[in-house]
Structure 1
Amino acid sequence: MLAGFRFRVPGALRTMLGAFLTALLLVVPSLGAQQGGTITGRVTDVGSGQPIPAVQVFIAALDINGLTQQNGRYLIQNVPAGTHTVSVARIGYRTADQQITIGGGQTVEQNFGLTEQALQLDEIIVTGTSGGAARRAIGNVVTTVDVAGIVQDAAISNFQDLLAARSPGIQFTRLSGNVGTSSPIKIRGVGSFNLNANPLIYVDGVRVNNNSAAGPNLGFGAGVNVLDDFNPQDIESIEIIKGPAAASLYGTEASAGVIQIITKRGAEGAPQFNVTVRQGTNFMTDPAGKVGDQYYCPASFFAHDAACRTEASLVKYNMYDESNRYIADGYFPWGSKELFQNGYVQSYNADVSGGTNTLRYFLSGNYENEEGVVYYNTDETFRLRGNVSAFFGGNFSLDLSTGFVDGYTRYANPAGGAGGVWTDILAASGFFLDRVTAFDSPYGNPRLGGYYNHLPSDVADITASRDYSRFTGSVTLKHTEGDWFSQQLILGIDKAWDINNNLYPVENGPVPESVSALGVTTWGNVYAETLNGEMVYSRPNEGNVTFDYSLNVDYELNDQLSFNTAGGIQYFTETRETFSGQGSGFASPLSRTINQLSTYTTPGYSLIANKALGYYVQERVSWNDRVFVTASMRFDDNSTFGRLAGVRKYPNVSGAWVISEESFWNVGFLDSFRFRGAWGKAGRQPSATAGINTFVVMPGPGGTSGIRASSPGNPAIEPEVSTELELGFEFAALDERLSGEFTHYNRIDRKALLSEAIPSSFGFPGSTQKNLGRIDNWGWEARLSMRILETDAFSFDLDVSADHTMNEIKKLGTTGGYSTRAIGQPYPNHATDDRVLSAFWYTVDSGADLTCPRTGPAGTAVCDRANAFGDRISAMCDSGVTLAPAGVIARAADGTLNAVDAAAAQFALDQYGVMQGGTPQPCGEIPNVNLFAGPAFATYVFTVAPRISLLDNSLQIFALAEGQYGRTSRDDLTDWGHHRFHNSIVSRLEDNALWEYGDQLGDDYVKQLYDADFWRIREIGARYNLPESLAGTMGASRASVSLSARNLFTPYRKVDDIYGARLADPEYGRPTETGSGNYWEMPGTASISMTLRVTF
């Protein structure tokens, strides 16, 4: 029965079940269609190709949103099937939209590229304002340098690479070919005669050492800018404010501007690892061409030989080529195949960042080893950074920033007073080359072989080095209450330990095998210091401590009017403790330490401390978030002020108006337009001892010690004070394809410090510093950015900028002037003692009456002179036009002075100076009147930066060019060839009257000054972002490779030579205001680097 049992469903139930199953089959697909899909992708910067974190990704119609992680990726889930508009937005970038069609359960990948907003009005600026403010509210120009983007493209070795040609108004004084050295930074020219013109430097809110003359003596002094201690790979951005109108809140020492370095921070998300490897080379472009043609007389080594009076009788040579021949022949030992090598550059950088919503971190390590064009010039650096951010309960945050650097540099030009390899080449004498005058001949010189003072191997035996360590750290505690109250406390330290060393080992004197076979038996020392050995040793330790507290209160009166009230107090201390020693007498050529000296002659110790206390108040009024007016007052006291000076006050008033957001604005092609203006004061402090009397120890009777007066102080000394008015505007047009800014500034630098002699009866020798001078500065800055073409396959962007700066000396007090200091002239400038302006040539057989005196043009009496060969030459000189105002005695109408007026006339000439344009006079009768030649800084600077993007922005091709105009420069080394060693053609033939009269009258400047206008390609290269599939084969999420070159081409130079002597480089000079003294220097080098960046 059971086996035959069958369960039977009644007919009605069967019908109902069938209907239910049929309905279910129809409903299931509908339910699948209603299941949500997923949209994912990456958001990157169009310009740099780098991921952008914290971007809002949303579908406005569905109220669905998400945020990108630090790797730029986003994920939006449960998106209903259909077609939707996905938007991405982030402050500082233009919003992007894309329509996406998605099916149920489907995953769609959509990547976005964001373009930075042209004006970025809502970007928060932290420099020059209390607590930070949106750019729209700031009345002065603020330059933001996107360092993180720059280092993705180009190889950056120092801050000159990073900032040169990237911001209008910023100049560097020289381009150095000595690895490990750099240049001071000048912002909007020079406003002081004596004091440091470097801007203040801040790192994450902490003031750090801004010394641009650190390191050992390299002939002109020290040439290291300690700003280069910091790793560019660790920096997110740099903010620059350029003058007193913007820097009032920083008080004393801020008149030269402020540079704020903002280092990288972690972001919420999984750990992200970045590895960067850079390989490259430093080299000198066409070194033989930079040396140029040199000449010698094969008949004699004497300067003027009758056998060599024509160009045909002279023989050309090039000491760089001769050096390579010497190296190949083994004449002297050398560490590379040619005199100048391709210096190997290697850099390795690794960092990791990430975190949660309560704790974020950024950790990095960096190693770099860079070689110069001479094999012994090296710079090795190791750096660490650790930044941690913690958030507590939504109201408190703590930022910890730490950085450490340890390095060692050996410099190319080690001798303090005798120059280096480049000097010995340029001042060479071809007559003593071994192929011209055999080493074993009576006039042979096997010890120098034609070089000036030393063989290159002699230079390499000397050492100038800097061994340095540095720690910079800060803690920033922030507290907020809602959106109306915030306060911030910053505590920081910057501590550096250096060891500077100039080492001259004993020259042991073995005769090299290359010349010993010629019968040479002695090999004497060529440095006086190497006869017994000498060392100059110093250990400067510098420390800065910063305390900075600020408070901000926001209050909205109504929907239109709001207020921000702020105040703060800042305390800063700076100490520099230096132990130094100098001595001679090493026991052996192996002796290398100072304790091995037999004569310890000059021990030294100094401790210099500076303390500054300042506090400020600030009020900002905002109308409709479009019109802003800000007023502030800073009060400063400083230990360098004289006891009678009192507290200094630095007021500031600024305003901004985003007029394009007004309802009446109806300029269709202009998307945004903002007016801004600022007026303010800032200071520049005197030296630490300027306000006090100083004394030094001296030997006393019976072996005791005594003291004597050293330098008098001025109890009334004050800081120099700069007052600046800055006006400008910014705009974006044509759907932000065109944007730009313009700024005009006018600055008055009052109370400039000058030295004034004091009578001996005062009891102190020398002079004292007084606030006597005044310099006026003015200029303008402009920038224009253009997106000329933009498609998915190709885009072309072009950035251009220009700036102009000029100044004028207005007051010199009672100090008088000299050379580069004369009322009415810019500072610094170049001037000559006897400027030859026009000349004509007479020869013995010309038939002219060559008796002396004779009548010249326009009845002017001239006296013919003869050159070294007895040829008569005559030249007319320009006595110049005095710049003294009417009524100031300068010279009588007939050119004479009576005894009563002589002193007053000389004072007028000294203080006001003269410029070209006087009555021609006999050259031999011209007094030293310091004729103005030109400013020693570029008065106009232009930059051009094109960028091409290809392959959906995966390939970026870029360049950066800079042109400088209006600068008169000085090449001292050409004078050595012209006058001292006669290896130029004009000094051999003496057939140029202009040159000859300058030579005979001792006016070396005639043979040194030149117009230094030029255009240089600062940067050129390309970067390719590898496909994600290819990066994935390395286990990476993305990777890029870039190739870049720096200072590779100089397509234009206004002047190539001075009277036939080749000019090596228009930026070749020492790091001083005038750039003179380049005979201790090495011309700037070029570099090529390839960089691989991988992110895991």
Structure 2
Amino acid sequence: MFKKLLSIAVLSLFVSVSALAQSGSVTGVVTDATSGDPMPAVTVQIVELSMGTATTIDGEYTIDKVPAGTFTLRASFVGYTPFETQITVGSGELVLDISLTEDVIGLEDVVVTAYGVAREEKSIGYAVQDIEGGDVTMVQDDNIVGALSGKISGVQVIGSAGANLGGSEKIRIRGTNGLSDGQPLFVVDGTPIDNRSFSGFAGGRDYGNLAQDLNLQDIENVSVLKGAAASVLYGNRAANGVILITTKKGTRGSAVQVDFSNSTTFERVFILPEYQNEYGGGYTQSFLTATDPEDGNTYNVLNYAADESWGPRMDGTMYRPWWSWFHDDFTGDGVDDYGTEIPLTANPDNVRNFYETGVAVKNTISINGGGDNAAYRVSISNSQAKGVVPNSALDKTYLNFNGSLSHNDKFTSAITFNYVNTKGDGRPAQGYSPAVGSVAQSFNQWFQRQINMDYLKNYETPDGMASWNIRSATNTRPLYWDSPYFTVYENYANDNRDRVYGNYSFTYNVNANVDIVGKVHLDQYSFVTQDRIASGGLELDDYTIQQRQKREVNYEAIANFKKDIDQISISGFAGGNIRQDRYSSVYQSTEGGLSTPNYFNIAASIDRPSTSSYIEERDVRSLFGNITLGYADLVYLEASARNDWSSTLPKDNNSYLYYALSTSLVFTEFSALKDQDLLSFGKIRASIAQVGDDIAPYSISSVYNIGTAYGSYPAQSVPNVLVNPNILPAINTDYEVGLDLRFLEGRLRMDAAYYISKRKDEILDLTVSGASGYSTAYINAGEFTTTGLETQFGISAVRSQDLNVDFTINWAKSYSVIDKLHPDLKVKEIEDAYFGVSLYAVEGEEWGLAQAEGYYGYNYHENGKPIIVDGHYDLVLNKELGNILPDWTGGFRTDINYKNFTFGAFIDFQKGGQFYSISKMFNNYSGLGIETVGNNTLGNPVRDPVLDSGGNEVLYVALDQAGAGSGGELVSGVDVDGNPVQYLYDAVSHHANMFYNKEEWMFDASYVKLREISVSYNLPQRMLSNVPVRRASVSVSMKNALLLYASTDGVDPSIIQNGTTGFSFWEGGGLPGTRSLGFSVNLSF
């Protein structure tokens, strides 16, 4: 269907139209009213004819073939007051020069609201915040979610490590919205698109979130609909907010313009844990010895099988390294290195040296223009990135086409078409992924500090696969870890995704007040991932392939109405939507190994392959409408409603009505407040709205689970979940008030919103008696309330001909409390324990409580000091560890324009919240962390034996009874009576004990990050006078320039990604973040 519509649309866009019998032209120059400088890229349009163009670098414009008559000519540019005048065109040339005045107040600012309706900001009674396309391309970023980080108040982004190469980024608007937080709906040019993420809970490969299929170079504007009143018209997908994206379009009556951009970005690993460089691999500080079977001599060796660093001090003592037991050349001198002895020394940068310099090159070319009745823009981009992890690469190609055609004065058609191909090679594993191998997990948690990475590159030897973690001098098979280079070059993955999204629309102008719009939207992709475990390594060889397909089609019809009666303005629309959503997945994996080494095919499975499939279908029918009334630019009233009928709900109970009411009062329109110097503009707004979630397909019916067949017999199992045919979607009711103030002709701007969101009928799973034949039942029961405050401030500090300085800051705080769960359920586990910490919802408390499960936290005396028993900390089982939600978030931006130079910097920050660092925990447990070395309070190495006053080695000793040369970690606190005590405790045992104390590994998630910084230069026209280039600019930018503050070293709280809830609260084995330096060139012809 869509292909046929696409063919018809493309054909119609290029149908010739009748030439006008008599026409003239309008020409002139547009200048800045203050400086007199010509203004390029100003849009000049003849409103009634939808004809227009953009000014050249010299500010010149010409609109040809204008029919004779009287029309409205309009010139507009962002940040300036639009210019309008009546013109009369004859058969000749009309010359009209235009001066634009800067609009610092921004009263005519237009924002995009639901269904792409452009509204004057003063008329809106709810919170909508938008940013221009240039704001998301300030630095090179291929993920729209990451590009929004810190730039919208009340919007929090949990980023992805740069080493992840296209990894998932999560976004949440106004804090929590349900026990299992969801993501907002993304809408591009009116088309809803899928933004699900393909990443593992605790490990595996991260293939990213699908919103990164948007090409940022094509984006014109981004609007964020925050509350229910703003997003209600999108129905049951609007509960988590909506992000509206408008792409660039061509202009009718404009000459052909070609734009080219190139960006080249270099990236390096940014933040790594702090490692100790005093002790080598092993479990004890004594060397082991081994006899060489070839020469009969005995040598010092390390415990190669130990993947910890509690070994001998690295003081230069001669020993046999792991590679000296292989007959091969590891050092690169052309000589067999078997039998080589070297001094035991540290390799302080061995982990950093593993990672390479990533390079990403992106080229984009676009062509736009238009004739009398048509406009178009087409662009193609290609991005090729080599990751910082060896053998990782990502190749993306984007194709975008936007076109419109006025067939006559009544009928217009338009098409938006996007194609994206994504190819990933060698995407690295992360987290706990022992099968495919996570190099970051090994480096940060299980490694040895003397290892030279260069010697691990030669992993194929005549004696077999070589790795540092050999079992012994005479058994060189790895025990726990393959060479990291074997992991990334042999255990590699491939992925390929083809995606098409866009829409075809027509508009019929019934009369000057009414038009009818019909649209067909499509979002469709096919996604294939292949994962390999190579033959010859530590793990059993394996091959896995998964194929996913998604197709969503929306059929839409809308009637728009607009009428002004004296001082009363009336506008609105009504429409219907049919949504058809299909998703399927097929998974296949070999079992028992591969029949032929490294033959990666399901047919090579030694045993019967494991297979599974999943199909999900959903249909939703909807009716919706909106009406807005305005009076004298003073007060506005708006009402919206939508009714959804969902196939996922029971036939007799599948209809749900959502609504919104809002108002805004521009109080500076009162005569008493007009024409005064201080307050230029003031508006108060208020809204109430209700919106809900849909439930997952098949939640109201029981089906058999299909498993892997046994021989020729199919396998099925009975479900253990008791379905509830009367289950309802959860409902959110939002209340919001806001204030918009602008002072001193807009030099100082402030917008604030306070909201309360009440959610009821949350879907909970209750444990039921096993005698029923089920383990779990679903019911509607949970209720909770979120309150929040969000603000934005803007200051235009300097305004002059050569220098402009602007500052923008946003800040937001939200608080969510669980009002009620269920009479039989006061505590609900949101996310299962992972290495001992779970996430809970507790009735009467704030959402997001982290708690040790089966593990411990400190036992504090009433005086606030930790209690010490038997020389170490007394611990409490299943202790509450804090809340994961931030206290507040925000961002600060500065823009400085000096003549042809533009400087921009952006800082984002977060205060509060807790996260659990599994990397830090294992980093210390295994002796890798810098916290495990140094001198104690007696001035002795902490790893030295603990000595009592008689010089005897003991597990622990009171500090005042310790021998002068005693080692050991200092343990300070109080006894059970509250008296201060101090002990020295054996370092290895101390850190082993602390492994079970999960409170020790909970950290404050506060941070301040200089996320973006850029400098650009627009080449003056005199430099381009002899070349066919209209505009040219060059820029330098840096992403993740500095982590200005974090509560703990070695971890970046802004890129913690693990967790299934959308509220990541732990990290472990994650890939490192990166810092990138980019160079860009932009040319217009």
TM (norm. structure 2) is 0.77
**DSSP-derived class of the 1:821 partner:** strand
CA distance in 1, matches of 2:700, 2:549: 24
Which residue in 2 is equivalent to 1:133? 119
Structure 1 residue 123 corresponds to structure 2 residue 138: no
Which residue in 1 is equivalent to 2:770? 760
Structure 1 residue 946 corresponds to structure 2 residue 894: yes
Structure 1 residue 750 corresponds to structure 2 residue 766: no
Q: CA deviation at 1:338?
A: 3.6
Kindly provide the amino acid, as one letter, of the partner of residue 438 in structure 2.
G
CA distance in 1, matches of 2:198, 2:241: 21
CA distance in 2, matches of 1:1012, 1:453: 34
Q: CA deviation at 1:750?
A: 1.4
Q: CA deviation at 1:203?
A: 1.3
Which residue in 2 is equivalent to 1:224? 208
CA distance in 1, matches of 2:469, 2:510: 88
Which residue in 2 is equivalent to 1:144? 130
**DSSP-derived class of the 1:1010 partner:** strand
Q: CA deviation at 1:313?
A: 8.8
Which residue in 2 is equivalent to 1:606? 614
Q: CA deviation at 1:663?
A: 2.2
Structure 1 residue 234 corresponds to structure 2 residue 180: no
Structure 1 residue 1094 corresponds to structure 2 residue 1068: no
Which residue in 1 is equivalent to 2:978? none
CA distance in 2, matches of 1:1046, 1:739: 28
Give the gaps of 5 or more residues in structure 2: 1-24, 64-72, 85-92, 289-308, 339-348, 456-466, 830-837, 934-942, 944-967, 974-984
Which residue in 1 is equivalent to 2:438? 420
Kindly provide the amino acid, as one letter, of the partner of residue 179 in structure 1.
L
Which residue in 1 is equivalent to 2:154? 169
The change in CA–CA distance for 1:227 and 1:324 in structure 2 (over 3 A counts) is farther
Which residue in 2 is equivalent to 1:40? 29
Give the gaps of 5 or more residues in structure 1: 1-35, 59-65, 78-86, 99-105, 508-524, 840-855, 866-871, 877-922, 1057-1061
Contact 2:280 2:450 in 1 (8 A): no
Question: Map of 1:799-810 to 2, 5 A cutoff?
Answer: 799-810=808-819
Tell me which protein shows more strand as a share of its residues.
2
The change in CA–CA distance for 1:1013 and 1:448 in structure 2 (over 3 A counts) is farther
CA distance in 2, matches of 1:697, 1:567: 44
- Within the candidate set 882, 892, 898, 1:933 is matched to 882
1:1011-1061 deviations in Å (ceiling 9; x for gaps): 1211111110111111123234441111111110000111212333xxxxx
Contact 2:542 2:589 in 1 (8 A): yes
- Within the candidate set 575, 590, 600, 1:592 is matched to 600
Question: Map of 1:796-835 to 2, 5 A cutoff?
Answer: 796-813=805-822, 814-817=824-827, 818=829, 819=838, 820-832=840-852
Which residue in 1 is equivalent to 2:15? none
1:705-731 deviations in Å (ceiling 9; x for gaps): 475422432101111111111111212
CA distance in 2, matches of 1:606, 1:156: 33
The change in CA–CA distance for 1:473 and 1:1005 in structure 2 (over 3 A counts) is same
Question: Map of 1:683-698 to 2, 5 A cutoff?
Answer: 683-697=692-706
Q: CA deviation at 1:785?
A: 1.3
Structure 1 residue 1018 corresponds to structure 2 residue 1011: yes
CA distance in 2, matches of 1:1078, 1:545: 38
Structure 1 residue 964 corresponds to structure 2 residue 927: no
Identity, % of aligned positions: 17
Question: Map of 1:238-257 to 2, 5 A cutoff?
Answer: 238-257=222-241
**DSSP-derived class of the 1:430 partner:** coil
- Within the candidate set 1058, 1073, 1078, 1:1070 is matched to 1058
- Within the candidate set 971, 987, 990, 1:992 is matched to 971
**DSSP-derived class of the 2:920 partner:** helix
CA distance in 1, matches of 2:637, 2:286: 71
The change in CA–CA distance for 1:758 and 1:220 in structure 2 (over 3 A counts) is farther
CA distance in 2, matches of 1:568, 1:122: 27
Question: Map of 1:345-494 to 2, 5 A cutoff?
Answer: 345-414=360-429, 417-418=433-434, 419-430=437-448, 433=451, 454-494=483-523
TM (norm. structure 1) is 0.76
Kindly provide the amino acid, as one letter, of the partner of residue 720 in structure 1.
A
Kindly provide the amino acid, as one letter, of the partner of residue 156 in structure 1.
D
- Within the candidate set 575, 581, 600, 2:588 is matched to 581
Contact 1:543 1:574 in 2 (8 A): yes
1:24-61 deviations in Å (ceiling 9; x for gaps): xxxxxxxxxxxx99953567999x99943424799xxx
CA distance in 2, matches of 1:991, 1:445: 40
Q: CA deviation at 1:439?
A: 8.2
Kindly provide the amino acid, as one letter, of the partner of residue 110 in structure 2.
E
Which residue in 1 is equivalent to 2:54? 69
CA distance in 2, matches of 1:241, 1:788: 29
CA distance in 2, matches of 1:753, 1:264: 41
* RMSD (Å), alpha carbons: 4.4
Contact 1:400 1:474 in 2 (8 A): yes
Structure 1 residue 1027 corresponds to structure 2 residue 1032: no
Q: CA deviation at 1:1070?
A: 2.4
CA distance in 2, matches of 1:648, 1:1081: 42
Q: CA deviation at 1:940?
A: 1.1
The change in CA–CA distance for 1:812 and 1:591 in structure 2 (over 3 A counts) is same
1:229-256 deviations in Å (ceiling 9; x for gaps): 1111111111110121321111112110
- Within the candidate set 541, 548, 558, 2:556 is matched to 548
Contact 1:146 1:238 in 2 (8 A): yes
1:165-198 deviations in Å (ceiling 9; x for gaps): 211111122332301113121111121123x511
Structure 1 residue 720 corresponds to structure 2 residue 730: yes
The change in CA–CA distance for 1:959 and 1:114 in structure 2 (over 3 A counts) is farther
Which residue in 2 is equivalent to 1:201? 186
Q: CA deviation at 1:986?
A: 4.2
CA distance in 2, matches of 1:979, 1:564: 66
**DSSP-derived class of the 1:688 partner:** coil
- Within the candidate set 637, 650, 663, 1:629 is matched to 637
- Within the candidate set 133, 139, 143, 1:154 is matched to 139
CA distance in 1, matches of 2:710, 2:439: 48
Say which one has the larger Rg.
Answer: 1
Q: CA deviation at 1:787?
A: 1.1
- Within the candidate set 759, 771, 792, 2:801 is matched to 792
Which residue in 1 is equivalent to 2:949? none
**DSSP-derived class of the 1:602 partner:** strand
Contact 1:448 1:455 in 2 (8 A): no
Kindly provide the amino acid, as one letter, of the partner of residue 1021 in structure 2.
E
Which residue in 1 is equivalent to 2:533? 504
CA distance in 2, matches of 1:363, 1:625: 39
Contact 1:642 1:692 in 2 (8 A): no
Q: CA deviation at 1:594?
A: 2.8
CA distance in 1, matches of 2:688, 2:728: 21
Kindly provide the amino acid, as one letter, of the partner of residue 127 in structure 2.
V
Q: CA deviation at 1:931?
A: 1.3
The change in CA–CA distance for 1:574 and 1:860 in structure 2 (over 3 A counts) is closer
Kindly provide the amino acid, as one letter, of the partner of residue 1086 in structure 1.
R
CA distance in 2, matches of 1:143, 1:792: 29
Structure 1 residue 95 corresponds to structure 2 residue 81: yes
Contact 1:215 1:466 in 2 (8 A): no
Kindly provide the amino acid, as one letter, of the partner of residue 773 in structure 1.
G
1:369-423 deviations in Å (ceiling 9; x for gaps): 1122112221101111111111132232211000001121135433772252222
1:127-153 deviations in Å (ceiling 9; x for gaps): 3268543332221111112014543x4
- Within the candidate set 148, 163, 171, 1:185 is matched to 171
Which residue in 1 is equivalent to 2:547? 539
**DSSP-derived class of the 1:824 partner:** coil
Q: CA deviation at 1:296?
A: 3.1
CA distance in 2, matches of 1:147, 1:264: 9
Q: CA deviation at 1:542?
A: 0.5
Kindly provide the amino acid, as one letter, of the partner of residue 139 in structure 2.
A
Which residue in 1 is equivalent to 2:1068? 1079
CA distance in 1, matches of 2:710, 2:1039: 62
Contact 2:550 2:584 in 1 (8 A): yes
